[in-house]
Structures are given as structure tokens and as C-alpha cells.
Amino acid sequence: MMFPLARNVLSCLRIRSIQQLRARQSHAKHSPDFHDKHGNTVLARGTIFCIIAWLFTTTKIGIEWNLSPVGRVTPKEWNDE
């Protein structure tokens, strides 16, 4: 078990290091990278591509989605053989 004084010193050191790290990051110049420049465009194009691909797939491959068989299915005649 740690002594309360040692625990307080360690927590203060952690807080100071976090504060120093934040101060360094806020003063650093942030140059835009690929994601900053093109991120939203790539995301939008990918979303549009997926939507179009799913629409094409669901409309062109001929799947009938949950259609009722009522009125289409006729019973076969009974054979006693």
C-alpha cells in the first residue's frame, strides 16, 4: 500500500505531464494530411458506391422479396395408388 504523500506526488506528476503534453500539442502547427483534405469526399463516394451496388444487386438479379404464394400455389390431385 502506498503512503498518501507518495500517492499525491505521483498523481500530481501525471497531471503535470498530461498538461504539458496538451500545451505542446496546442502550440504545434497542424498541417492537413490526406484524411483532412479528402476524408469526407472518400466517405461520401464510398457510401454512394455501396448504395448503388446494393440497388443494382437487389433489382437486377431477379430475387422476389417476400411475395405471398396465395393464389399461385394450386394443390395437386390426390392419387390412391
Local structure of 26: helix, strand or coil: helix
Confidence of residue 74 (pLDDT cuts 50, 70, 90): confident
Residue with cell 400455389: 73
For residue 56, the enclosing domain spans: 37-61
Asked if residue 17 belongs to a domain, the reply is: no
pTM of the model: 0.42
Q: Which three cell numbers stand for residue 40?
A: 469526407
Query: pLDDT of 6-49, one tens digit each?
Result: 666 666 666 667 666 666 656 656 678 888 888 999 999 999 99
Q: What is the pLDDT of residue 27?
A: 60
Asked if residue 80 belongs to a domain, the reply is: no
Q: Which three cell numbers stand for residue 49?
A: 458506391
Could you give the CA distance from residue 8 to residue 2 in angstroms, rounded to a whole number? Answer: 10
Asked if residue 44 belongs to a domain, the reply is: yes
Asked if residue 13 belongs to a domain, the reply is: no
3-state secondary structure 42-79: HHHHHHHHHHHHHHHHHHHCCCCCCCCCCCCCCCCCCC
Domain count, the chain: 1
